[in-house]
Amino acid sequence: MKLRSWLSTCSSATSISTADDATSLPPQTTRNLLFSDTSSASPSSQDTSSSSSLQSNLSLQTLPSVPSLQKLFPYQTLTLSLSSLSHHHLLASLKPRPLQVTSLALHHNLLYAASGTEINVFDVNSYALVDTFNGKDSSSGSVKSFTFCNGKVLTAHQDCKIRVWKSTETKRHKLVATLPTVTDYFRRFIFPKNHFQIRRHRKRLWIEHHDTVSGLAIANNLIYSVSWDKYLKIWSVPNFRCLQSIKAHDDAINAVVASIDGTIYTASADPTLEKHKSAVNALAVNDDGTTLFSGACDRSILVWEREDSANYMVVTGALRGHSKAILCLINVSDLLLSGSADRTVRIWRRGSDGRFCCLTVTDAHEKAGEGIDGRDGGWVPRWWCR
């Protein structure tokens, strides 16, 4: 099992294992340097308008967007331009509730859209609302992320919990577990060594997240969760026991993705690597796991690729065009979609020469971050076809 910390090059990490409840839980004391970074800027630099510093770095390719598409307005002009260029059409706008859409996920023929605490499920063929669940549990806080495993839906919540739902034949969703489970909780609770101090006069079990769970990923039949508490936790399937807890970063973790080879990448607000000059909000990995994309508050998307015959990745390009922070990324086949606080979604494609270009810019959104996973904003999930 490989774990690659996206913004961490430190030589040690705190790790707690559950191999034996009756034995001590030794810290993991080694971590390999998995990413190459030769810039000499101070890690404390947090310039959110650092495109100039990125431009000055000759190792980063400038991959411009299509100029004619950067300011498409009004919406009717946008639709015509998209049709003539790459045949992307707006099919429908769905308004489940007058709240921000905090997360979107597509599974088989169902679209899951979280609005606050409520989760709405739409049929992608008819655009019909087929189920609404979790709306009555206001204590759970906003839903931050979705993932899917063995026919179940897993959701990450602001109340530090992960919830597991089962879809019935009628496409209704029933809560079947909350992580950590009650069994796992009481199994650990009796041993003092399983408690650790999170702040003065307050302790928690190590199997618990103690801040918002911000992301979920599945790889090799294991569940990976990340949180603003700086920890990455690993859960087994199907019993949903917590196997390991790793302090992966020095600041809040914002995203996690899993590569096809089982490598796990995490993104954080800590300034360990200096290619980004501010918090990294989003990650995406291509289908074969050879290319990683990272989006940050510095308005840039960096392209990382595996170095030949090496166990690390290096920056090979930078995608620019958004005027505000990158909030969400998703890779679909040969396309990369990026959502930003500038209220636009950009669609990128790599050409035969290896360089990326921006195919289209959509600015039909009313709030920031809408359209891909809705991180930190967005009102309406919109449906596009090509």
Residues 380, 111 contacting (CB under 8 angstroms)? no
Q: At 236, which helix (H) or strand (E)?
A: strand 231-236
Mean pLDDT of the chain: 74
Q: Which CATH number fits domain 275-371+379-385: 3.30.70, 2.60.40, 1.20.950, 2.40.128?
A: 2.40.128
Confidence of residue 209 (pLDDT cuts 50, 70, 90): very high
User: Which range among 170-179, 263-272, 377-386 shows the weakest confidence by mean pLDDT?
Assistant: 377-386
Cα separations in angstroms, 73 against 81, 365, 381: 10, 12, 20
| Tokens of residue 363, six digits | 């600015």
Q: What is the pLDDT of residues 3-30, one digit of tens each?
A: 554 443 333 344 444 433 333 333 333 3
Q: What is the pLDDT of residues 298-330, one digit of tens each?
A: 889 999 998 777 678 889 989 998 989 998 898
How much is the average pLDDT of 360-369? 64
How much is the average pLDDT of 322-340? 88
Position 48 scores a pLDDT of 39
Cα separations in angstroms, 225 against 24, 67, 72, 253: 23, 39, 38, 10
Q: Domain residue spans in the chain?
A: 275-371+379-385
Q: Look at the pTM and tell me if it is higher than 0.85.
A: no
Q: What is the pLDDT of residues 29-75, one digit of tens each?
A: 333 333 333 333 333 333 433 434 434 443 344 443 333 333 333 33
The answer, yes or no, to whether the previous bond of 180 is cis (omega within 30 of 0) is yes
Q: Taking phi first (over 0 means left), then psi (-120 to 50 degrees means alpha), and beta for anything else, what does residue 11 get?
A: alpha
Confidence of residue 354 (pLDDT cuts 50, 70, 90): confident
Position 258 scores a pLDDT of 93
Distance CA 366, CA 194 (A): 46
Position 101 scores a pLDDT of 74
Q: What type of residue sits at position 298? A: D
DSSP state of 77: H
Cα separations in angstroms, 14 against 28, 108, 195: 6, 38, 14
Position 226 scores a pLDDT of 97
Give the torsion sign (CA, 381, 382, 385, 386).
negative
Distance CA 211, CA 202 (A): 13
> Does the pLDDT at position 336 exceed 50?
yes
Confidence of residue 80 (pLDDT cuts 50, 70, 90): very low
Distance CA 196, CA 202 (A): 9
Q: What is the pLDDT of residues 87-137, one digit of tens each?
A: 555 656 666 555 667 788 888 888 898 888 899 898 888 888 899 999 887
Distance CA 212, CA 372 (A): 20
